[in-house]
């Protein structure tokens, strides 16, 4: 699995939900370790005083197993507890009423994100988005400490969005990533304005939007949400719906990984 890892520390639009299993697993681990420790401590005291019998030992083991079983039942309930994940007002590709949603947190300067965009996304669009089965949501997660041009790239895409050319600009950024990803920020901004001209955007409006930093707060909101939802690298995905819950998928996975999850969700 390939992903660009975050090295920095970690409201409400439309909502989707995913299941929390890590918390439940941690709870079980702590409780089991504690119970075992208490049991053996008690066993040691009893043995030392020569008071333990075989029946008492079996009874203690039965109680321990019962407690573990109850803890596992609690864990199953924890797994079903949803957390809210906002899709905010970010761009959506496909039918708004599609039964499955894919939310991507991505970085325009990330090479693995470009790989997903070029190799995998076209197949998802063809087989699922264009057929009305899936809607695709893009949220910004620029990793600024390693990708200094990612933030202005995200801002440029938002400026294109206000002129109804988001996806065309999104595609241009990824398809031409090699042109702008290693230049200084000022040069990158100049290239971003050239992309806007090639897409026939209003140049004055686009330039004023980009130079003013108009959408920085919006991008930072995406970043915060991504960290809150456990995104630690790019690209990161949530796939599913409210009814069935969401599956988290990390990295530039092959199309088959998405297909397996989507088909499973559609058949549930």
Percent of the chain at pLDDT exceeding 90: 61
Per-residue pLDDT reduced to its tens digit, 148-199: 999 999 999 999 999 999 999 999 999 999 999 999 999 999 999 999 999 9
Q: Which CATH superfamily is domain 4-17+85-266 in?
A: Glutaredoxin (3.40.30.10)
Burial of 225 (0-12, 13-18, 19+ CB in 10 A): buried
Alpha carbons 258 and 249: distance in angstroms, whole number? 8
Per-residue confidence (pLDDT) for residue 75, from 0 to 100: 42
3-17, 67-81, 240-254: range with lowest mean pLDDT: 67-81
Per-residue confidence (pLDDT) for residue 76, from 0 to 100: 42
Alpha carbons 159 and 132: distance in angstroms, whole number? 27
Domain spans of the chain, in order of start: 4-17+85-266, 22-80
Per-residue confidence (pLDDT) for residue 64, from 0 to 100: 67
**Following DSSP, what letter does each residue of the chain receive, concatenated?**
---EEP-S----SSEEEEE--HHHHHHHHHHHHHHHHHHHHHHHHHHHTT---HHHHHHHHHHHHHHHHHHHHHHHHHHH-EEEEE-TT--EES-TT-SEEEEEEE-TT-HHHHHIIIIIHHHHIIIIITTTSEEEEEEE---TTT-TTHHHHHHHHHHHHTTT-HHHHHHHHHHTHHHHTTS-HHHHHHHHHHHHHHTT--HHHHHHHHHHTTTHHHHHHHHHHHHHTT--EESEEEEEETTTEEEEEESS--HHHHHHHHHHHHT-
Confidence of residue 44 (pLDDT cuts 50, 70, 90): very low
Confidence of residue 33 (pLDDT cuts 50, 70, 90): very low
Confidence of residue 3 (pLDDT cuts 50, 70, 90): confident
More confident residue, 236 or 85: 236
Confidence of residue 258 (pLDDT cuts 50, 70, 90): very high
Over the chain, what is the mean pLDDT? 81
CA dihedral sign, ordered 14, 20, 22, 23: positive
Per-residue confidence (pLDDT) for residue 176, from 0 to 100: 97
The predicted model gives 136-155 an average pLDDT of: 96
Per-residue confidence (pLDDT) for residue 21, from 0 to 100: 45
Per-residue confidence (pLDDT) for residue 25, from 0 to 100: 46
Res 42 pLDDT > 90: no
More confident residue, 208 or 67: 208
φ, ψ dihedrals at 177, nearest 5°: -55, -35
């Amino acid at each position: 699995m390939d992903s660009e890892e975050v090295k920095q520390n970690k409201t409400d639009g439309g909502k989707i939900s995913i299941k929390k299993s890590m918390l439940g697993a941690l709870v079980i681990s702590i409780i089991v370790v504690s119970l075992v420790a208490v049991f053996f401590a008690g066993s040691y005291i009893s043995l030392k005083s020569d008071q333990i019998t075989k029946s008492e030992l079996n009874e203690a083991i039965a109680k321990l197993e019962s407690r573990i079983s109850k803890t596992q039942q609690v864990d199953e309930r924890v797994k079903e507890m949803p957390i809210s994940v906002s899709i905010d007002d970010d761009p959506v590709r496909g039918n708004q009423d599609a039964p499955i949603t894919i939310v991507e947190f991505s970085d325009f300067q990330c090479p693995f994100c470009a790989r997903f965009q070029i190799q995998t996304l076209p197949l998802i669009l063809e087989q699922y988005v264009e057929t009305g089965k899936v809607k695709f949501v893009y949220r910004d997660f620029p990793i600024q400490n390693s990708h200094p041009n990612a933030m202005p790239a995200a801002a440029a895409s938002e400026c294109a969005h206000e002129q109804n050319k988001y996806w065309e600009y999104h595609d241009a950024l990824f398809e031409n990533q090699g042109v702008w990803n290693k230049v200084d920020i000022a040069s990158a901004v100049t290239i971003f304005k050239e992309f806007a001209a090639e897409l026939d955007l209003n140049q004055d409006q686009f330039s004023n939007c980009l130079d003013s930093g108009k959408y920085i707060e919006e991008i930072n909101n995406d970043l915060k949400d991504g960290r809150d939802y456990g995104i630690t690298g790019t690209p990161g995905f949530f796939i599913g719906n409210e009814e069935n819950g969401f599956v988290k998928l990390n990295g530039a996975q092959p199309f088959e990984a998405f297909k397996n999850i989507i088909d499973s969700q559609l058949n549930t």
